[in-house]
Structure 1
Amino acid sequence: MLTIITQVGGVLYFLTLLTAKAFKLNQLKGLAMFGVLYLITSFAILPAMAPVFGRTALPFTGNLKPLNFGTCLLNRHYVTPELKYQLVEIADEMNKQFAGSVTHYLDGNFPFFNGFPLIPHLSHNDGKKLDLAFFYTKKDGSINSAPGFIGYGIYESPAEGEVDYPARCREQGYWQYGILSSFVINLGNGDYQLDVDRTRTLIKLMAEHRLTSKIFIEPHLKQRWELDQYKNIRFQGCRAVRHDDHIHTQVR
């Protein structure tokens, strides 16, 4: 399980077990050793090793940072240098256009090996893909938070008259398509409002960037936000999950 969710956790746990047995450490000391070893590896060793595999860690602070620090704790914030360059550039531009605005990323990739799956994603396995959070504004005026802890599962559903792929996919038997709504708690309690202007601007900046290959959002949002001119903004298919809660982007 540690290997599945962090890529390196299983190996570190195995090394901890061997060390604890050799030095006859009790369970509490063994767990403490694992925690220290994991943190040192994740925040000191992995960032230095990842470039060998064509990956680099996304920043923790600045105009581009994780919505949830757990993303970095689980080593899911690694991408190719090209994708990092693109997103830092776009996040800086977003901050210029909307003073104080921070672009939040969600899941990227693990630090090592193309083809290693990033569960539950279908395609985040080569460093070229990254999910980004929508922008929200709170009633108190703050602009850099979101109603969902993980950034997924708070849907902007189709309105009457808009194409409804969530319903179409559900009718075709794709039970997983909207499953996140069953697990994600909306912490906003009506205090958050989707910031359409900032979210639409972010999507446009990415769509117009020379490095962008594809962007996935739900077709009803592409229609609603008048983004039909961008051919690289596409529907991800029913085999994936809904994309009216986040933006998926990838580089060539």
Structure 2
Amino acid sequence: MINNNLHFSGMNKVRLFFRILIFCVLTVVSQIGGLVYLLTLYIFKSLDPRIKSKVAFTILKLTSFVVLYLITAFIIVPPVAALFGRVPLPIYSANHLKPLNKITWMFNRNYVTPKLRRAILNASVEMNKKYPGTEINYLDACFPFIDKFPLIPHLSHNDGRKLDLAFLYIDNHSGKESNESPSFIGYGICEEPQNGEVKTAEFCKSKGYLQYSFLKYIIPQSSKTDFKFDAERTKSLVELLDKEEDVSKIFIEPHLKERLNLQSGKIRFHGCQAVRHDDHIHFQVK
């Protein structure tokens, strides 16, 4: 009897550990996922004895979690986020702005202040006027709630005022302007410095900032040769953002600022403590 009790106690501790782990992971990646998980556990606590098949019970619980999560994310969160001064960016193409990856909006990483949304929509519309057919791909923004709540792995995407954008590219096979990106997440495939340009990544590595280029080594590079960095359109996008009165800072790698002849004081080096910005544009508003 004692051994059985000890075994039962051990199983409970293991289950509790995994539940805490799942709660933490879901909270870190989506902000609301952990709470939805707890709600699902609460609902199914009373159903546990009634469903004999463990497989059926697990499938039903997982399905219920997904449904509850989607209802929360797309019906409940947007109006509540508005109370925190944040609004979602479009989840499909709207005003020539779209997410590069569906994970961004599925995990609530597409919330910004109204000022920022206005700035990027203005820039997207103007880009399409100048380059018909061009769509701007946004990457990570911020979570819907609570200033200082971290959007891992970013250092500063925690107040609704920051947004990352994918570079613009030319399709090497067709030679035409493309709205696609060589990286499926928009990060990690870098436009390296050319001969004579400043090599910031090497400098940061020499100072011990080993995280500076880590995405380059974990993101598959197989699609890199399919695309060519579109210097003209990327420069135009940065300049349009610079013209927006509410935009306060734009981060891009120093060698690209030099290559594209970008002169604005808003365009700055982000520091070695971050990650390299020759794979995307970061901008923020006041």
The TM-score range, normalised by the shorter chain, is over 0.9
1:31 is aligned with what amino acid?
Answer: L
1:51-200 equivalent positions in 2, closer than 5 A: 51-60=82-91, 61-62=93-94, 63-138=96-171, 139-140=173-174, 141=176, 143-188=178-223, 190-200=225-235
Q: Distance in 2 between matches of 1:244 and 1:98?
A: 22
SS of match in other structure, 1:120 = coil
Give the CA deviation at 1:243.
0.3
Larger RCO (CA within 8 A; separation ≥ 6): 1
- State which of 264, 267, 279 in structure 2 corresponds to 1:233: 267
2:190 is aligned with what amino acid?
Answer: Y
1:39-54 equivalent positions in 2, closer than 5 A: 39-54=70-85
SS of match in other structure, 1:119 = coil
Q: Distance in 1 between matches of 2:37 and 2:74?
A: 17
TM-score with structure 1 setting the length: 0.97
Q: Distance in 2 between matches of 1:178 and 1:240?
A: 9
Runs of 4+ in 1 over 4 A off after TM superposition: none
Contact 2:201–2:212, Cα closer than 8 Å, also in 1: yes
Q: Distance in 1 between matches of 2:191 and 2:225?
A: 14
Q: Distance in 1 between matches of 2:226 and 2:33?
A: 37
- State which of 68, 71, 74 in structure 2 corresponds to 1:37: 68
TM-score with structure 2 setting the length: 0.86
Q: Which runs of 5+ in 1 are unaligned?
A: none
In structure 2, the partner of 1:5 is 29
SS of match in other structure, 1:201 = helix
After superposition, the CA RMSD in angstroms is: 1.0
2:188 is aligned with what amino acid?
Answer: G
Give the CA deviation at 1:233.
0.2
Give the CA deviation at 1:194.
1.1
Contact 2:193–2:255, Cα closer than 8 Å, also in 1: yes
Give the CA deviation at 1:23.
2.0
- Say which structure is richer in helix: 2
In structure 1, the partner of 2:58 is 27
Give the CA deviation at 1:205.
0.7
Q: Which runs of 5+ in 2 are unaligned?
A: 1-24, 52-56
Contact 2:209–2:272, Cα closer than 8 Å, also in 1: yes
Q: Distance in 2 between matches of 1:75 and 1:117?
A: 13
SS of match in other structure, 2:178 = coil
- Give the number of aligned pairs: 251
Deviation readout 1:192-239 (Å, 9 max, x if unpaired): 111111101000111121111000001100001001x20010000000
1:45 is aligned with what amino acid?
Answer: I
Give the greater-gyration-radius structure (CA).
2
